[in-house]
Each structure stands twice: as C-alpha cells, then as structure tokens.
C-alpha cells in the first residue's frame, strides 16, 4: 500500500521550514493507489494516460506505485513511447549521418528503464543500417553517458564530439569490427582508455582529445594497423608512450600533447614511415631526442616543447628535408645548434627558446639559410663573425665618444 500525503502550507512558507503550528494544520489522506489502478483501470487505459505525458514524466511516475512501474517498464509501452519520438530534431540533425531523434537524447542520458534501452537500440540499429552506419551527433548538446548498448549497432562512423558526455568510454565499443572513425573529443569523459579498442582492426581515425581521461595509454593501441590519425591530447594521461605505437605503419598524425606522460621518446617512433605530424609537447618527457627519428622522411611538423628533454640536438634532424615546423623550446638541451639544420629548406617556424644550456654562438653556415637565421637571430643566437663585427662597432662608438669629449 502506498500512502500519499497532501500538505497545505502558507503561500510564502517552505515545507522544510514549516512551524509546528503549520504542521498541525497538515491534512493527511491515504490512498491505496495500487488498488485503485488495479481494479478500475485496464492496462491499455493506463498506457494511454501515461502516453499523454513526456517520457521523462512517465519515468518519474514509476515511483508512485508498482502498477505504473510495471507499465512503464513493459516493452509494449517502450514501443508506443518511442514511436511518438520519431521526428528528427532539426537543430541537431547532421545531414551526413543518422538524424538525431528526441529519444536519442534520453538514450544517451540513460534516464529510462532497460526495456526502453532495448527497444531504442533495435530502432536505432535499423536507422543506422539504413544510413550506412554513420552516427554523427557532434555539437548536439548531448549529456549523460555513452551507452554500453551502442555495441548492438553496426557502425562505420561514431562522432559524438563537442557534447557534455561524461562517465567512461564503454569497452563494448571494441566489438565494432567495422568502425572506421571514432570521435569522442571535447566531452567530459573520465577513466582509462579501454584496451578493448585495440580490436578495432578497421579503425582509421581515433579522436579522444580534450576529455578528462587518465591512466596509461594502452599498448593495445599498437594493434590498430589501419590507424591514420591518433589524437589523445589535452587529457590527464600518465605513464610512458608505449613502444607499440611503432607498429602503426599507416599513422599520419600523432598528438599526445598536454598530458602527464613521462619517460623517453620511444625510438620505435622512427618506424612510422608515413608520419607527417607529431606533437608530444607539454608533458614530462625526458632524455634525448632519438637520432633515429631522422628516418621519418615525410615528417613536416615536430613539437616536443615544454618537456624535460636533454642532451644535444641530433644533427641527423637536418635530413628531414620536408620539415617546416620544429619546436624544441623550453627543455634542457645543451651543446651547439647543429650546422646540418641549414638544410631546412621549407622551415617557417623554429623555436629553441628556454634552453639555457645551449651555446648561443653558432656556426656561420647556419646564417646561409635566411629563413632559419631569422628565427635563430631573433632568439639571441649569433655567429663569431657577427659577434666580432658587433664588438668592432661598439669599440668604434666608444672611440668616437671619447674623441668628442676632448
């Protein structure tokens, strides 16, 4: 038996702040809700009444009595309710993917019983199949968790970026054998990156950047043989960069910046023949830059700034003829700037600032590369010849000053 109490309060009072006098005026009546609904309302009538409400309101009423709870949890009611939510939301529909329905928001928000989850997953699966396996709900103002039942879908593309999704990345995503693109960036996802994602043999694009993910980068990432872009930047990832990343022979872009990674730059990165873009900045990496990275003949941008890297800058980096951006700033490099860097014919950004142990006096041959020398000279580097000329100018000025005073 459910007891429903009705209280009458003053217009300006609050229930929790009611005085003893107000509480004394409280009127209580008991209603046997279960009995009334069981005896007087057929199931079809109760369903019809509940269907007049929104899904959220109907789910809230589950707490009123057992009969309503059983009705709302039934698959029949789930089918009827979801049938009412069949029109796409124009403001959130991505023309390149499956249209977003109002029911999809509730599914992601996990605000309904399992019967709804199962019924919705079946309906969404049919829509996904018809739409070529593309769910593109970026910037759709979605909140809640990524449902584990997403594993029931046959996906090629899952883009849920730029939302307010929280919770963990479901390990069940690893069952999506045909998934080519997984984009969960710019959310509030927490927890570890599931090692089960290593089973996604067809995956080409993995974007998990700008979340709150922590823990190590799983070595299983190295099993993604088709991967072309891997963006894990701006999280709270720790541990070392797994050597297994060297197995990603098709990798074009790698961004692990703005994390808490430590240890050395793995020499296995040199085994990525198609790498064009590599960003490892703003971590706690230490040790030298592996000279073997000179084998990355297609590398165009290399960022390792704001770490604790040390040792000499490898002269072999001069072999990277396509390199146009190199940022080695704010580390602990020592020695001289290698003269071999003068071969940078495409350089349009180069920074060594924040390396106090570097010798500021460089080989005069570096000045032959006008583009490179613009950056070096602006950062306080000089050649012996320039230093001598400047010293000579200083002495000349001093001599002229003394002569004018006589």
Q: Distance (Å, rounded) from C-alpha 398 to C-alpha 69?
A: 95
Contact 84, 51 (CB under 8 A): yes
The domain spans of the chain are 1-8+30-73, 264-406
Mean pLDDT score of the chain: 87
Q: Distance (Å, rounded) from C-alpha 200 to C-alpha 383?
A: 53
Task: Tell whether the torsion through CA atoms of 61, 66, 70 and 73 is positive or negative.
Answer: positive
Output the pLDDT for position 91. Answer: 59
Percent residues over pLDDT 90 in the chain? 64
> Which range (17-21, 84-88, 368-372, 394-398) has the least confidence?
17-21
Residue 19's pLDDT band, with cuts at 50, 70 and 90, is: very low
Tens digit of pLDDT for each residue in 274-332?
A: 999 999 999 999 999 999 999 999 999 999 999 999 999 999 999 999 999 999 999 99
CB neighbours of 131 closer than 8 A, spacing ≥ 6? 97, 98
Output the pLDDT for position 2. Answer: 38
Contact 248, 226 (CB under 8 A): no
- Answer yes or no: is pLDDT of 340 > 50: yes
Output the pLDDT for position 85. Answer: 84
Strand spans (E) along 188-269:
190-191, 205-207, 212-216, 229-231, 236-238, 253-255, 262-263
Output the pLDDT for position 64. Answer: 86
The CATH number of 264-406 is: 3.80.10.10
Contact 98, 128 (CB under 8 A): yes
Output the pLDDT for position 17. Answer: 46
236: its two tokens: 């709270």
The pTM of the full predicted model, rounded to 2 decimals, is: 0.85
Output the pLDDT for position 386. Answer: 61
Tens digit of pLDDT for each residue in 140-175?
A: 999 999 998 888 899 999 999 999 999 999 999 999
Contact 343, 318 (CB under 8 A): yes
């Amino acid at each position: 038996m459910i007891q429903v109490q009705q209280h009458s309060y003053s217009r300006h009072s609050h229930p929790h702040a009611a005085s003893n006098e107000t509480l004394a005026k409280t009127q209580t009546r008991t209603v046997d809700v279960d009995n009334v609904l069981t005896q007087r309302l057929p199931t079809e009538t109760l369903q019809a009444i509940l269907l007049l409400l929104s899904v959220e309101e109907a789910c809230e009423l589950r707490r009123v009595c057992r009969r309503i709870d059983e009705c709302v949890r039934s698959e029949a009611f789930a089918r009827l309710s979801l049938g009412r939510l069949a029109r796409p939301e124009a403001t959130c529909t991505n023309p390149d993917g499956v249209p977003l329905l109002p029911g999809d928001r509730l599914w992601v928000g996990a605000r309904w019983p399992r019967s709804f989850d199962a019924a919705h997953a079946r309906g969404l699966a049919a829509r996904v199949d018809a739409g070529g396996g593309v769910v593109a709900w970026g910037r759709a103002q979605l909140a809640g968790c990524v449902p584990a039942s997403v594993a029931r879908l046959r996906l090629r593309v899952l883009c849920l970026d730029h939302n307010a999704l929280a919770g963990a990345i479901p390990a069940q995503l690893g069952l999506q054998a045909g998934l080519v693109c997984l984009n969960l960036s710019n959310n509030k996802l927490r927890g570890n990156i599931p090692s089960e994602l290593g089973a996604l043999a067809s995956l080409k694009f993995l974007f998990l950047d700008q979340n709150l993910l922590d823990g190590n980068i799983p070595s299983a990432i190295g099993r993604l043989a088709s991967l072309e872009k891997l963006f894990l930047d701006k999280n709270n990832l720790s541990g070392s960069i797994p050597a297994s990343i060297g197995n990603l022979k098709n990798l074009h872009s790698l961004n692990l910046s703005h994390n808490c990674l430590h240890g050395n730059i793995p020499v296995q990165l040199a085994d990525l023949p198609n790498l064009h873009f590599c960003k490892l900045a703003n971590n706690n990496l230490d040790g030298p830059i592996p000279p073997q990275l000179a084998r990355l003949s297609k590398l165009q941008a290399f960022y390792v700034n704001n770490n604790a890297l040390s040792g000499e800058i490898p002269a072999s980096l001069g072999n990277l003829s396509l390199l146009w951006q190199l940022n080695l700033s704010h580390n602990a490099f020592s020695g001289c700037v290698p003269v071999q860097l003068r071969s940078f014919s495409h350089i349009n950004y180069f920074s060594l600032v924040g390396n106090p142990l570097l010798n500021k006096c460089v080989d005069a041959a570096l000045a032959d590369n006008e583009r490179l020398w613009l950056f070096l000279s602006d950062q306080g580097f000089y050649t012996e010849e320039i230093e001598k000329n400047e010293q000579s100018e200083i002495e000349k000025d001093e001599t002229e000053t003394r002569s004018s005073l006589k």
